[in-house]
Amino acid sequence: MEGAAGGQRALLRQVLGWRVAAAVTWSVLLLPLCTAAFIVLSGLDPFHPVRWISKSFSDLYTSYVIFCIFLMSVVIIVISIFNVEFYAVVPSIPCSRLALIGKIIHPQQVIHSFVHAIMGMLVAWCATVMTKGRFQFLAVSCTPSESLEDAVPQMCLNEYHLFFLLSGAFLGYSYSLFFLINNMNYLPFPIIQQYKYLRFRRSLPLLIKHSCVESLYFVRNFCVTYYFFGYIPKVWICTTMGLHTDSKLHPLDTLSGLLDLSLFYHTWLSGVFLLMTWYIAWLLFKIYATESHHFPIQPTFAQETDQCLPKILNSNPPLLIKFLALQDLMLLSQYSPVRRQEVFSLSQPGGHPHNWTAISRECLSLLSDLTQRLIAQQEAAAANGRAKPPVGELKVPPQTPGAAGIEDTSFQSQRSNIVLRASMSPLVKPSLMPVKTSPGSDVGSPFSSPALSYKMGAVDVKSPWHGTVPSPHVTRRGPKLWTSVSDQQMNGSHHEPSPVLSAARTGSEAVQPKFIYTWLQNKQEQIKNFLSKRALIMYFFSKHPEASIQAVFCDAQMHIWALEGLSHLVAASFTEDQFGVVQTTLPAILNTLLTLQEVVDRHFKLPHVSSKPPRISGSLVDTSYKTLRFALRASLKTALYRITTVFGEHLNAVQVSTEHKKRLQQFLDYKE
């Protein structure tokens, strides 16, 4: 186990190491250009252009500017290290305000904000040194107004320099905070593969615009903050360093002091300089990290087995490697006939389609997991109006999703059973399919949905309603959206009790008395009802419907690539599969895709679910994860049409359920 984890870390370093090094190198090389632009704009003098330009270029070769470039290179390296440590290919979407506050005060985020505030102060200090003039030094000589003419000058605090340093710290912290809130650590993979230079050139105007506008807002917020609390650091610095205050100058924590246009311009310009250098480092890392990587299908040497595409897909690598592998699968399925032949090839000796089996099994497992997650979310939404049953500690062990793809017969029969039960229930039965929680779901929370808790495997075997029909006078019944266990017993359909449940029931009754368990559950319900009537509590605990939906589909990019790769391989197998390895799993593939489409269509019919994607404005902040569910729906329908268009009437010979045959016929007739 440790050897496999070490191999995965080595693969991550091999794939990501040179990308990080290249991104940091280019960020440092572009730093002198940004510094030159800052020096030119900081000495702006449009009435004397010749002197302005000549003075600006002469300052570029001074020793203090070279030292500042070296210091800011160290800052860029530190910022890049945090970019590498905090990146994510699956965005973290807080579903409530309390979850967002929890992210902000998380220890890792606190360290991230503190380090960025320190780095921002260093950049602001470099800006004051390169700007020169009244901003350059913290302590300046001054003569008190009440002293005599022959009095010795004293050292006074230069509040302009302090204002610059504090603004740098404030901008650094604000950058870290907005970096978290806007999910800017999210790595969106490009839909269309382009050269890195073209991607950088296309994003550069957005980067400059975003830096200018964001710096304007940050400086405005800092001026308001300094107006109310600026005297605290000023008094502390004067007391600590033994400095005086120059009474001849207006204090900057007053309206007259903050209305200095020169101060506001230079502070805004230093903020633009800080944000541009940091955003360039992040943009270059994002471009390099999401560049496609070529994984071999078959190893050339025995040592390269762990680096092959089928092996990576069926292991548990870091998410970035998983995404790159699925992206490579999507690309090879469309544009590489030679690599497709390697996927369809048989092993020697033995003649087994190991490559196709491993790839198709992982793709079907991913799609099955998404189906189960959507079913859990739909049953949670359909539980509106139902009384929450007591939830015990007993949990049913889920079925391994990958095991369904090992044997095609068992996988196909499992899918057929799911579809045959559709007449009994509009939702697939929870006992047939394991459920995985979405990254944004809060299972076990006192404010979570009862149906979601039930879907996660928490079954109360000691409930008074277990195995019986609850009375309508006791439990308020909601709309009957699916068939319950009690309804099946009334209709005569009886299932064998699971031996795991029977054993757990016996052990649980021996350990925990029934009345204590019931009393604890009643107290939990009373506390929940009490808190739900408090507006302030519900303001923080209430979940935003749109955020909850986005959290369900936050990793849908993997499933989109699995859909596209699997459907392209199936379509190409009609003419390229010489041994017919794809035909053995075609029924399972069609059952999985049609079941997923049925669940996705049902999802868009739920309340609070928009049927149209939101309009995404061109900005540096990527919000493409908000439209992943619409991309998934389109990719799913395109994948089914791709298969039905190639195979045509041959699909009538595939063994699928009657319901799926009707749906396939609609695709064949182009009526879906």
Quote the tokens at residue 176. 């870290």
Contact criterion met (CB below 8 Å) for 396 and 430? no
**Of 451 and 251, which is predicted with more confidence?**
251
pLDDT value at residue 181: 92
Number of Cβ within a 10 Å radius of residue 137 = 13
Q: What six digits make up the tokens of 293?
A: 């990587």
Helices 261-289, 196-229: axis angle to 10 degrees equals 140
The phi, psi pair for 88, rounded to 5°, reads -150, 135
pLDDT tens for each residue of 143-153: 765 554 555 67
Q: Residue 656 in contact with residue 590, Cβ under 8 Å?
A: yes
The sign of the torsion formed by the CA atoms of 420, 422, 423, 424 equals positive
Distance between CA atoms of 267 and 260, rounded to whole angstroms? 11
pLDDT of 125 strictly over 90: yes
- State residue 546's pLDDT score: 83
User: What are the pLDDT digits (tens) for 257-277?
Assistant: 898 899 999 999 999 999 999
The predicted pLDDT at position 392 comes to 37
Burial 356-380 (b: 16+ CB within 10 A, else e): bbbbbbbbbbbbbbbbbbbbbbbbb
- Summarised one tens digit per residue, pLDDT across range 611-628 is 777 777 678 888 888 899
Strands 154-157 and 139-142: antiparallel
C-alpha span between 441 and 456 (Å, rounded): 11
- % of the chain at pLDDT higher than 90: 50
Residue 4 is predicted with a pLDDT of: 66
The per-residue pLDDT for range 165-217, each reduced to its tens digit, is 999 999 999 999 999 999 999 999 998 888 999 999 999 999 999 999 999 99
CA distance 428 to 598: 10
Residue 459, phi-psi category: left (phi > 0), alpha (psi -120 to 50), beta (remainder): beta
The helix (H) or strand (E) run that includes residue 142 is strand 139-142
Identify the sign of the CA torsion 4, 6, 9, 14. negative
Distance from C-alpha of 333 to C-alpha of 343, rounded to nearest angstrom: 9
11, 306 Cβ separation under 8 angstroms: yes
Query: What's the sign of the alpha-carbon dihedral 117, 121, 127, 128?
Result: positive
Give every CB contact of residue 290 below 8 A, 6+ residues apart in sequence. 187, 188, 189, 190
Residue type, 405: G
Cβ(441)–Cβ(465) below 8 Å:
no
Sign of CA dihedral 35, 39, 44, 46: negative
**CA-to-CA distance for 500 and 196, rounded, in angstroms?**
55
Question: In this model, does residue 589 exceed pLDDT 80?
Answer: yes
Of 606 and 443, the one with more pLDDT:
606
Cβ contact 395:457 at 8 Å: yes
Q: Which residue has the tokens 């606190």?
A: 110
Instruction: Give the per-residue pLDDT at 323.
Output: 96
Report residue 20's pLDDT band, with 50, 70 and 90 as the boundaries.
very high
**Are the C-beta atoms of 558 and 317 separated by less than 8 Å?**
no
Average pLDDT on 29-44 reads 93
Q: How many CB atoms lie within 10 A of CB 59?
A: 17
The pLDDT of residue 189 is 93
Burial class, 545, CB count within 10 angstroms (exposed 0-12 / middle 13-18 / buried 19+): middle
Give the pLDDT band (50/70/90) at residue 3.
low
For residue 644, give Cα distances in angstroms to 190, 560, 590, 665: 28, 18, 10, 9
- By the 10 Å C-beta count (0-12 exposed, 13-18 middle, 19+ buried), 105 is classed as exposed
Position 389 scores a pLDDT of 40
Annotate 459-485 with DSSP letters as a single string: --SS-TTTTSPPPTTTS------S--H
- Tell me the one-letter amino acid at 314: N
- What whole-number percentage of the chain has pLDDT above 70? 78
Summarize the confidence of residues 441-465 as an average pLDDT.
40
Q: Which of these ranges, 380-389, 463-472, 525-534, 540-549, has the smallest mean pLDDT?
A: 463-472
Q: How confident is the model at residue 95 (pLDDT cuts 50, 70, 90)?
A: confident
Is pLDDT larger for residue 370 or for residue 400?
370
Residue-wise pLDDT for 310-348, tens only, equals 999 998 899 999 999 999 999 999 999 999 999 999 988
- Of the CA atoms within 13 Å of residue 428, those in its CB half-sphere come to 30
Here the tokens at position 644 are 């039905």
List phi, psi (to 5°) of 141. Answer: -80, 140
**What's the rounded Cα separation, in Å, for the pair 95 and 549?**
9
Peptide bond into 144 cis (omega under 30): no
* Cα four-point dihedral sign 436, 439, 444, 447: negative
Reported as type and span, the H/E element at residue 630 is helix 628-647
Name the residue with higher pLDDT: 530 or 664.
664
What angle is formed at CA 332 by the lines to CA 327 and CA 335, rounded to 5 degrees? 120
The amino acid present at 434, given as its one-letter code, is: P
Backbone φ, ψ for residue 458 (5° rounding): -80, 110
The mean pLDDT value for 554-581 works out to 94
Distance CA 524, CA 520 (A): 6
> Residue 420: is its pLDDT beyond 60?
no
Contact between 321 and 313 under an 8 Å Cβ cutoff? The reply is no
- Asked whether the predicted pLDDT for residue 416 surpasses 50, the reply is no
Query: What gap in Å lies between CA 260 and CA 264, rounded to an integer?
Result: 6
C-alpha torsion 617→620→623→624, nearest 10:
90
SS3 call for 186: strand
